[in-house]
Amino acid sequence: MPNQPQSGICAEASSDATFVLLNCIKGKEHTLREVLSKLPDLIERKQNKFAGTQLYATIGFSVYAWDTLFSQPKPKHLEAFPILKGEFIEVEPEQIDICLHVRSIRRDATFALTRALVDIFEDSVEVKSQTDCFKYLDNRDLTGFVDGTENPQGDNRAQVALIQNEDPNYVNGSYLNLMKFVHDLPKWESVPVEKQEQIYGRTKEEDIEFPASEKSVHAHTKRTSLKDDQGQSLEILRQSMPFGNLYEKGLMFASYAKTPEIFNTMLKSMIIGDEDGNTDHLMKYTRAPYGSLFFVPANSFLRQFTPEA
By annotation, the residues acting in catalysis are 147
Q: Which amino acid is at 6?
A: Q
Helix axes 29-36, 107-121, angle to 10 degrees: 140
Return the DSSP state at 80.
Answer: P
**Residue from 301, 308, 234 nearest 267 by CA:** 234
Return the DSSP state at 69.
Answer: H
Distance between CA atoms of 19 and 32, rounded to whole angstroms?
19
Phi, psi values for residue 36, rounded to 5°: -55, -40
Return the DSSP state at 100.
Answer: E
Stated as kind and residue range, the H or E segment containing 42 is helix 39-49
DSSP helix/strand/coil, 113: helix
**Residue from 69, 89, 88 nearest 78 by CA:** 69
Helix axes 107-121, 39-49, angle to 10 degrees: 150
141 CB-near residues (< 8 Å, 6+ apart): 147, 242, 251
Distance between CA atoms of 156 and 7, rounded to whole angstroms?
16
Question: For the chain, first and last CA: distance in Å?
Answer: 22
Q: Could you count the other beta carbons within 10 Å of the beta carbon of residue 95?
A: 15
**Residue from 184, 188, 174, 199 nearest 270 by CA:** 199
Burial degree of 270 (CB within 10 A; 0-12, 13-18, 19+): buried
